[in-house]
């Protein structure tokens, strides 16, 4: 019983935590804490609340009201909050989700489960309506709302949110607005005698005039669904009729009713193909994109042997074929096709293996671009057999070979349908315009440095490095008059004249590159090819790659000079997806500023490493009024973040973030954990790290810092073919640099990493005895077997040749010595660092055998090593739920023992027998003569 009295409180304290002590045990409390902040424990993790999602952020058109939601408050739910931006009134709704403010600012609409709530913003009265579902127009928020009632009528109701007039449209199970909210399409279901009649209806919302456009003529005819064009004038109706297969009907404004344009017997449908459904309109509404289905393979005869024949000529490996046994060429059973609304011949856009639609038309619809890459799994052939691009006519299906090659090349149609813009990865990364009517091609950027518009691999390599045949940074948008396009280089924005008559203009005047500030449009998706209004200044988001500051600039198109600085600071406002590499470790790209429709008022979100993100109001992006103040970290031993730099032996300047606990005492010595990956983690200097359970090889930073650790997040920048060597240089030089500080315990420095970083960690512990402990999640230990293995979890489907050959600049036989020298398992006899491995058999990314190879080597050599493998978990390269909690406990106990000198738990000293799996955890610490 003495064992239970000593051990159980320790385990419970670890899991649940307590507020009077900030340590998980007495030793930690005495050695590393002086101020009574609470440690982060399981209760803190599971009850942590904040602004995780911005899905409920709304602002009224006059900018006087706004709403947001607080995630995980109460636990596992959320609280919707609506209030004024001035004056302090607010209303909290548990479980609510935002819909919209009325355009006239009189009411706010939200939903809780199966009820709509209309909150009067003047008298605060609430109208409640039971519903089954609701819908509003995409581009006309706050004007119309439709819902299906939850009573026995299943009635479709449409409300005008300006004058509150309603249309009641009868029993319906489908409705959809056009994008601008001028028309509603819906179905009406009724009975005529014994027959159930389904009608497709269209109502013009300005006058309430309703038109029936289609109705089933018999009980065998069934409505499968509808597809609308953006204008609301046209609809494609998918119909199924017993015995006759599927058909597609078309209606446009002015027709008396819908007419069939395609069925199973339509020209162009042959070879056993079957008509499936329509899935989209061309932007101008002249064509309907449809799917054709390939015939299904019948049942195999029992008389034949069932075996897999792996051939050296296979384009796609047998393992992948077995997972996709649709047909002989391994394509999806769905073939994208197109048909004119006039009902002409069906044209197959995808005709064979490797065909992908690279560009759909943007407004004027005459062509699509098909990229053909038939290399399959034989990716090493891409240099000799690059992808080709074909211009396909929507009118007659004619295909013309375009002067573009390479898998990383990219095409876009201009909004007026006159030009095809393309980036050619095999022609120095230049942009070209291709006149669709004549085929005339103009190099728009040939006078500029090669690969200026190609992605610099600054996520992996020294600044300025680009891969051979690289991808483009991307497009910003088209000018309103369609005469020019804005494109990004790695730092600035350029204006390109599509006719090639004007020289390229650096719109941001080289300001970004000179200062290493990445400038991007402030939109959520950089590939949204919007038509930009050149009369108004562009709002730009900015990220300084040196200081890691984030902020906003403004730039007027057509005005020479530098962009105007609005604000920059040590915060996270919004990181464009082209500026800062996002990764699950922190998950905080910020929020796109939200503007009021009829006022120059924006809601922005701002946070930092020490202050949780909150919402602010701004009118000029120079001054900010704080609207919320949620700081869940305030009661805990939180962290500070400091950008540090040091010299590496390979001439690269190492950089990283040093996190210290709030109660840091420079007179004490602290253990250190260096966490890293093959990416520049220092970009997250000013992001708020939301605490979570450690669910992979990356430790949770706040968790460990609150317990008295220093954590260094180190950038690893490597040269091609020398990833592990460069990573080793970073870790060793970083640890040596930290060791010079009087507050660092040089004998108690550990490392933690995952996946690609695991290869570096394994290499490091086989070449250095500097580290006191190492935690590695799903890393590669044997570069030869890793290249020759299949990944994809238990099913093992995918070749890894492309990954390894990209890293090393060649295959095993071309770079034999490099593959061998970076295979850490061959040097496992040199390991002196205790090693904790996390790797699951279901891992879809890194073969489980890589972790097992290292474990078996250490086991055979009697090296200190433990492998954590969770049953049925790890498919996503990580674990979740109770497994993540368990992994957090074990990694903490592991580092506590080797970096703090705490007693080792049973699972470390003597393990847990397989027969006790699920019954014993081995968490309890025990006195043992064994020195683990």
- Helix (H), strand (E), coil (C) string for 802-851: HHHHHHHCCCCCCCHHHHHHCCHHHHHHHCCCCEEEECCCCCCCCCHHHH
Please check the confidence at residue 869 and state whether its pLDDT lies above 70.
yes
Quick one: pLDDT at residue 927?
A: 66
Quick one: pLDDT at residue 739?
A: 98
How far is the C-alpha of 19 from the C-alpha of 27, rounded, in Å?
17
759-813 tens-digit pLDDT? 999 999 999 999 999 999 999 999 999 989 888 877 788 888 777 777 777 889 9
> What is the total residue count of the chain?
932
634-675 tens-digit pLDDT? 999 999 999 999 999 878 889 999 999 999 999 999 999 999
CA count, 13 A, side-chain hemisphere, 385: 12
How far is the C-alpha of 600 from the C-alpha of 105, rounded, in Å?
16
Please check the confidence at residue 100 and state whether its pLDDT lies above 90.
yes
How far is the C-alpha of 108 from the C-alpha of 67, rounded, in Å?
9
Among 117-121, 143-147, 812-816, 896-900, where is mean pLDDT lowest?
812-816
Total Cβ atoms within 10 A of residue 352: 11
Total Cβ atoms within 10 A of residue 512: 28
Say if CB 27 and CB 902 are below 8 A apart.
Answer: yes
Confidence of residue 21 (pLDDT cuts 50, 70, 90): very low
| Across 295-304, average pLDDT | 77
Confidence of residue 586 (pLDDT cuts 50, 70, 90): low
How far is the C-alpha of 817 from the C-alpha of 483, rounded, in Å?
54
Quick one: pLDDT at residue 406?
A: 87
45-55 tens-digit pLDDT? 999 999 988 99
Say if CB 451 and CB 468 are below 8 A apart.
Answer: no
Taking the model in full, what pTM does it have? 0.91
By C-alpha distance, which of 54, 64, 59, 147 is closest to 97?
A: 54
Greater confidence (303 vs 885) lies with 885
3-class SS of residue 782: coil
For 272, residues 6+ apart whose C-beta sits below 8 A from its C-beta are 294, 295
**Residue 592 backbone phi and psi in degrees, to 5:** -65, 130
DSSP tag of 795: G
Provide the β-strand partners of residue 868.
Answer: 838
Say if CB 697 and CB 838 are below 8 A apart.
Answer: yes
By C-alpha distance, which of 379, 401, 399, 376 is closest to 469?
A: 379
Burial (CB count <10 Å: 0-12, 13-18, 19+), residue 290:
buried
How far is the C-alpha of 186 from the C-alpha of 157, rounded, in Å?
11
Please check the confidence at residue 4 and state whether its pLDDT lies above 70.
no
Quick one: pLDDT at residue 738?
A: 98
How far is the C-alpha of 202 from the C-alpha of 223, rounded, in Å?
16
Please check the confidence at residue 728 and state whether its pLDDT lies above 50.
yes
How far is the C-alpha of 119 from the C-alpha of 107, rounded, in Å?
5
By C-alpha distance, which of 326, 259, 255, 320 is closest to 294?
A: 326
Total Cβ atoms within 10 A of residue 815: 19
Quick one: pLDDT at residue 578?
A: 59
How far is the C-alpha of 849 from the C-alpha of 804, rounded, in Å?
16
Confidence of residue 568 (pLDDT cuts 50, 70, 90): very high
Quick one: pLDDT at residue 724?
A: 86
7: left (phi over 0), alpha (psi -120 to 50) or beta: alpha
How far is the C-alpha of 924 from the C-alpha of 80, rounded, in Å?
42
Please check the confidence at residue 275 and state whether its pLDDT lies above 60.
yes
**Residue 124 backbone phi and psi in degrees, to 5:** 65, 15
Total Cβ atoms within 10 A of residue 623: 10
For 373, residues 6+ apart whose C-beta sits below 8 A from its C-beta are 354, 356, 382, 387, 407
Quick one: pLDDT at residue 20?
A: 30
């Amino acid at each position: 019983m003495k064992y239970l009295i000593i051990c159980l409180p320790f385990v419970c304290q670890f899991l649940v935590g307590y507020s009077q002590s900030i340590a998980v045990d007495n030793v930690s409390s005495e050695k590393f804490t002086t101020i009574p902040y609470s440690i982060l424990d399981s209760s803190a993790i599971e009850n942590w609340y904040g602004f995780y999602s911005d899905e409920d952020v709304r602002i009224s058109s006059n900018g006087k009201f706004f709403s947001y939601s607080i995630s995980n408050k109460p636990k596992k739910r959320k609280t919707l909050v609506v209030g004024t931006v001035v004056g302090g009134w607010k209303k909290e709704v548990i479980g609510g989700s935002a819909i919209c403010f009325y355009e006239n600012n009189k009411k706010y609409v939200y939903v809780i489960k199966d009820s709509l709530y209309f909150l009067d913003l003047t008298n605060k009265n609430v109208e409640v309506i039971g519903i089954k579902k609701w819908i509003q127009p995409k581009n006309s928020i706050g004007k119309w709302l439709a819902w299906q009632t939850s009573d026995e009528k299943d009635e479709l109701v449409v409300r005008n949110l300006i004058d509150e007039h309603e249309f009641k449209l009868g029993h319906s199970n489908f409705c959809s607005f056009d994008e601008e909210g001028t028309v509603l399409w819906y179905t009406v279901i009724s009975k005529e005698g014994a027959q159930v009649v389904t009608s497709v209806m269209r109502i013009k919302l300005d006058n309430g005039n309703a038109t029936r456009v289609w109705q089933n003529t018999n009980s065998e005819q069934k409505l499968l669904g509808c597809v609308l064009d953006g204008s609301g004038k046209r609809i494609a109706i998918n119909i199924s009729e017993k015995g006759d297969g599927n058909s597609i009907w078309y209606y446009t404004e002015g027709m008396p009713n819908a007419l069939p344009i395609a069925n199973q017997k339509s020209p162009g449908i042959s070879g056993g193909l079957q008509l499936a459904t329509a899935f989209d309109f061309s932007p101008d509404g002249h064509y309907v994109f449809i799917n054709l289905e390939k015939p299904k393979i019948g049942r195999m005869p029992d008389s034949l042997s069932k075996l897999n024949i792996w051939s050296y000529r296979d384009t796609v490996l047998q393992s992948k074929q077995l997972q996709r046994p649709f047909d002989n060429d391994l394509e999806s059973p769905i073939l994208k096709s197109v048909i004119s609304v006039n009902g002409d011949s069906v044209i197959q856009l995808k005709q064979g293996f490797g065909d992908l639609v690279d560009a759909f038309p943007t407004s004027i619809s005459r062509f699509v671009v098909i990229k053909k890459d038939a290399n399959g799994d034989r990716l090493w052939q891409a240099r000799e057999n690059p992808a080709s691009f074909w211009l396909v006519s929507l009118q007659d299906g004619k295909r013309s070979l375009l002067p573009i090659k390479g898998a990383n090349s990219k095409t876009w149609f201009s909004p007026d349908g006159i030009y095809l813009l393309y980036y050619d990865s095999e022609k120095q990364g230049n942009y070209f315009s291709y006149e669709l009517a004549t085929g005339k091609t103009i190099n728009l950027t040939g006078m500029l440095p090669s690969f200026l518009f190609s992605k610099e691999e600054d996520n992996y390599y020294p600044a300025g490095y680009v891969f051979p045949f690289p991808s483009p940074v991307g497009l910003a948008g088209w000018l309103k008059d369609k005469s020019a396009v804005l494109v990004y280089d790695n730092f600035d924005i350029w204006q390109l004249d599509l006719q090639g008559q004007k020289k390229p203009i650096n719109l941001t005047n080289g300001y970004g590159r000179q200062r290493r500030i990445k400038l991007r449009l402030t939109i959520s998706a950089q590939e949204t090819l919007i038509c930009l209004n050149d009369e108004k200044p562009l709002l730009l988001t900015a990220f300084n790659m040196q200081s890691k500051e984030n902020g906003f600039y403004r730039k007027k198109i057509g005005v020479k000079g530098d962009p105007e600085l609005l604000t920059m600071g040590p915060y996270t406002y919004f990181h464009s997806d082209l500026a800062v590499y996002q990764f699950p470790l922190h998950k905080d790209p910020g929020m796109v500023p939200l503007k009021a429709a009829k006022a120059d008022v924006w809601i922005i979100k701002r946070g930092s490493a020490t202050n949780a993100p909150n919402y602010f109001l701004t009118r000029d992006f120079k001054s900010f009024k704080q609207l919320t103040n949620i700081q869940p970290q305030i009661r805990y031993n939180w962290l500070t973040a400091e950008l540090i730099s040091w010299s590496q032996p390979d001439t690269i300047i190492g950089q990283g973030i040093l996190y210290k606990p709030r109660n840091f005492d420079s007179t004490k010595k602290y253990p250190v954990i260096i966490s890293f990956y093959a990416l520049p983690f220092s970009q997250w200097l000013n992001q708020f790290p939301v605490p979570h359970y450690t669910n992979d090889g990356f430790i949770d930073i706040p968790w460990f810092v609150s317990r008295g650790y220093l954590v260094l997040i180190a950038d690893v920048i490597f040269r091609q073919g020398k990833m592990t060597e460069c990573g080793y240089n970073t870790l060793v030089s970083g640890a040596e640099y930290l060791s010079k500080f009087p507050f660092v315990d040089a004998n108690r420095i550990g490392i933690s990493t995952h996946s690609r970083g695991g290869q570096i960690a394994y290499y490091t512990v086989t070449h250095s005895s500097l580290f006191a402990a190492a935690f590695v999640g799903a890393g590669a230990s044997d570069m030869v077997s890793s290249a020759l293995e299949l990944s994809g979890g238990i099913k093992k489907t995918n070749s890894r040749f492309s990954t390894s050959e990209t890293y090393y600049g060649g295959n095993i036989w071309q770079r034999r010595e490099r593959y061998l020298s970076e295979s850490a398992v061959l040097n496992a006899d040199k390991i002196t660092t205790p090693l904790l491995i996390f790797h699951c058999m279901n891992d879809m990314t890194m073969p489980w055998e890589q972790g097992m190879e290292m474990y078996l080597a250490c086991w055979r050599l009697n090296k200190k090593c433990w492998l954590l493998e969770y049953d049925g978990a790890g498919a996503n390269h990580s674990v979740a739920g109770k497994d993540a909690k368990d992994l957090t406990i074990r990694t903490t106990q592991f580092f506590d023992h080797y970096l703090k000198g705490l007693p080792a738990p049973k699972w470390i000293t003597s393990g847990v027998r397989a027969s006790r799996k699920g019954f014993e955890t081995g968490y309890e610490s025990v006195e043992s003569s064994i020195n683990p």
